[in-house]
Chain A
Amino acid sequence: MTQQRRSTTKMVPFPSHSIVPERDVDKLPVLEARHLGIEFGGLKAVEDFNLTIGKTEIAGLIGPNGAGKTTVFNLLTKVYQPTSGTIMINGKDTAGMNTVQANKLGVARTFQNIRLFGNMSVEDNVRIGLHNQVPYGMFSGIFRLPRYWKQEKKQHERALELLSIFGMQDMASAKAGSLPYGAQRRLEIVRALATNPSLLLLDEPAAGMNPHETEELMDSIIAIRDQFQIAVMLIEHDMKLVMGICEGICVLNYGRVIAKGTAEEIQKNPTVIEAYLGRRKEDAQ
């Protein structure tokens, strides 16, 4: 099923020399990054990063260790402020925004090293994700006004609904920190989804998962995209997952984009092969 999806997506050029799926070409791209760069005391961690992601695209960001992939995520979520370039989310410039504002614009993420609220229950973790979706004030909360009961009920129902994407509704009252590793990764995705994003950034979602779990995750990511009609961008080292579900793939090395294209194009690209495997000795001379 996943294999089919990849082969049927036709990628078309998009202004600012990027590509998006054909079905998204007349829609506003969810992300447009132009000439994005950040320096840490003279070290250029990311330089001249250009990327466009279509409204319902599943995009991949790959590259060797230390290439700057997570730094790109931190830039897109405004954990770091870029030293150059612009990021447009749903057509809005994010200059000067912080992480909270970026999230409200529609960027949600998971973390490479899981950052759940470990002491709290699974449901509470999702409820925290619903923070801005089902709001009520401190006053209603303390004095248990009717709004509190109404919104709490709504949060509860919505949380279980979201957990059911991964069939986790039965663990709702378990402590998040006591879940198995794979379930924690899935819970992080649910928490990110709870913020009602238009772009979901997944940082190594399959890390620590067995092949069977990875297979399920691939189906879930596609199901999430179809159900919520959102774009997904993922960093992953598992090439089976990346080549299986990603429509547009961007390869990063030493903070620079060295290739962009579909899975076939990336697999054949000599620069990418060189970045991953190195150059043959006779070619190097």
Chain B
Amino acid sequence: MKLKRSTVNNLIAYGIVIVAFVICQSMISAGAMSRSLRGQLVPICVYIVMAVSLNLTVGISGELSLGHAGFMSVGAFSGIVAATWMESAFAMENDVVRLLLAMVVGGVFAGIAGVIIGVPVLRLRGDYLAIVTLAFGEIIRNVLNCVYISVDAGRVYFAFNSPQLPGKLVINGPAGATGVSRISTFVIGFVLILFTLFVVLNLINSRSGRAIMACRDSRIAAESVGINITKYRMMAFVTSAVLAGMAGALYGLNYSTVTAAKFDFNTSILVLVFVVLGGIGNIWGSIIAATLLTVLPELLRGFSDYRMLVYAVVLILVMLVTNSPMMRAFFARVLPHKRGEEGKGGEAA
């Protein structure tokens, strides 16, 4: 019976995302969407995936990670290289296939980075873990600042700190990736959101997900029933990194120029803000917060110079409102199915 309820909840979830997508698509075809908002659609998808995947680490697994943008950048750069290489090696014309494969490559490389970083980092807990993930995020950014990669006749050349490479430079050190063919589309972004939701929601409602949450709630009790803590913390961390890498690839291939400086500490914090605002452990909240807060700066253009001030005020107000017990009780009444979600995700703090 319980199984059914969670499955129904998930189906409702996919349904809402699909409806939102259909509305957006019909607005585009009817010409009812402004140009600037249309340009925001792919970044919105990217940030939704980033927020949902970070929520897996912060909310479900209970580790405060401050280096999420690092995995995004690994995914972005490896995705760009993969897309360029496929074009040059196989003369692959189909943009959709190229983008999907680039996203897979981005996810794989970010996953590898997740394993490499996870091994030392997951020995730590709490504040220490937060600080070390922050440091690793910065390390990734600085390393990518010195990387030169070129593609020539279907071969990939790699150099550190020296741009003397044959062929066309794809990644040009501090100047980042230039001349990227923009192949990201809103439709693929939407598919990525569905995929992320599918992975995260199904993971939470499975044996592995329960083990991850058990490690979060009580380490000692989880060990006493034979759960390998390291394995499940790692599983959550790497899954989250893979999804961030895929989002990164989508993001990277959405702009003609991407620099490593874009994926700095501020981006990590921005994604964390989405997660905290939406409610830690609450997947739905992450999606809504990521959407609204990505659109908000655009909508606030009317305030011109005071734009970021208003943005900050809105953030503070939302925090106050969502944390008041009265509003919580109100939401619990309005959204009856949310109670189940709360039981699942819980409050990690």
Contact = CB atoms under 8 A, between A and B. Distances in A.
B221 A116 contact: yes
5 contacts: A100-B226, A103-B223, A116-B221, A138-B235, A141-B208
Given A120-B210, A128-B210, 14 more contacts: A103-B223, A104-B226, A108-B225, A115-B221, A117-B214, A117-B221, A118-B217, A119-B346, A128-B214, A131-B207, A131-B226, A141-B208, A143-B202, A173-B1
B162 interface: no
- A-B pairs, top 5 by smallest CB distance, nearest first, are A141-B206, A119-B346, A103-B226, A115-B221, A99-B223
Interface in B188-224: 198-199, 202-203, 206-211, 213-214, 217-218, 220-224
A253 interface: no
Interface stretch (A22-30, A191-199, A207-215, A277-285): A191-199
B17 interface: no
B323 interface: no
Interface string A91-122: 00000001110011000110100011111110
A124 interface: yes
A129 interface: yes
A128 B224 contact: no
Nearest to A149: B3
Interface in B150-202: 198-199, 202
B227 A79 contact: no
A128 B3 contact: no
Given A119-B343, A141-B203, A191 B225 contact: yes
B127 interface: no
B208 A115 contact: no
B49 to A, nearest CB: 16
A109 B224 contact: yes
Given A120-B213, A135-B207, A142-B203, A129 B225 contact: yes
Contacts of B209: 141
A152 interface: yes
B227 A100 contact: yes
Interface of B: 1-3, 198-199, 202-203, 206-211, 213-214, 217-218, 220-229, 235, 343-344, 346-347
A139 B203 CA distance: 9
**Which of B206, B218, B229, B235 has its CB near the most chain A CB atoms (within 10 A)?**
B206
A195 B207 contact: no
A64 to B, nearest CB: 25
Contacts of B213: 117, 119-120
Given A115-B220, A119-B217, A151-B207, A100 B346 contact: no
Nearest to A77: B224
A44 interface: no
Contact of B225 (A135, A140, A141, A194): A194
Contacts of B228: 100
Contacts, number: 108
Given A120-B346, A152-B3, A138 B208 contact: yes
Contacts of A129: 225
B202 A142 contact: yes
A141 B207 contact: yes
A200 to B, nearest CB: 12
**Contact count band on A:** 35 or more
Contacts of A118: 217
A34 interface: no
A136 B20 CA distance: 34
Given A117-B214, A120-B346, A123-B2, A148 B206 contact: yes
A190 to B, nearest CB: 11
Interface in A124-175: 124, 127-129, 131-132, 134-138, 140-144, 148, 151-152, 155-156, 172-173, 175
Contacts of B198: 142
Contacts of B210: 120, 124, 127-128, 131
Contacts of B217: 117-120
A152 B224 CA distance: 22
Nearest to A143: B202
A192 B213 CA distance: 17
A119 B280 CA distance: 14
Nearest to B232: A138
Nearest to A115: B221
Nearest to B346: A119
A138 B203 contact: yes
A129 B207 CA distance: 11
B343 A120 contact: yes
B2 A103 contact: no
Nearest to A144: B202
Contacts of B208: 137-138, 141
Interface string A53-91: 000000000000000000000000101000000000000
B224 A103 contact: yes
Nearest to A127: B210
Contacts of A195: 225-226
A111 B346 contact: no
A192 B207 contact: no
**Which of B221, B229, B235 has its CB near the most chain A CB atoms (within 10 A)?**
B221
A53 B265 CA distance: 57
A119 B221 CA distance: 14
Nearest to B228: A100
A22 to B, nearest CB: 32
A128 B225 contact: yes
Contacts of A141: 202-203, 206-209
A201 to B, nearest CB: 9
A127 B3 contact: no
A173 B235 contact: no
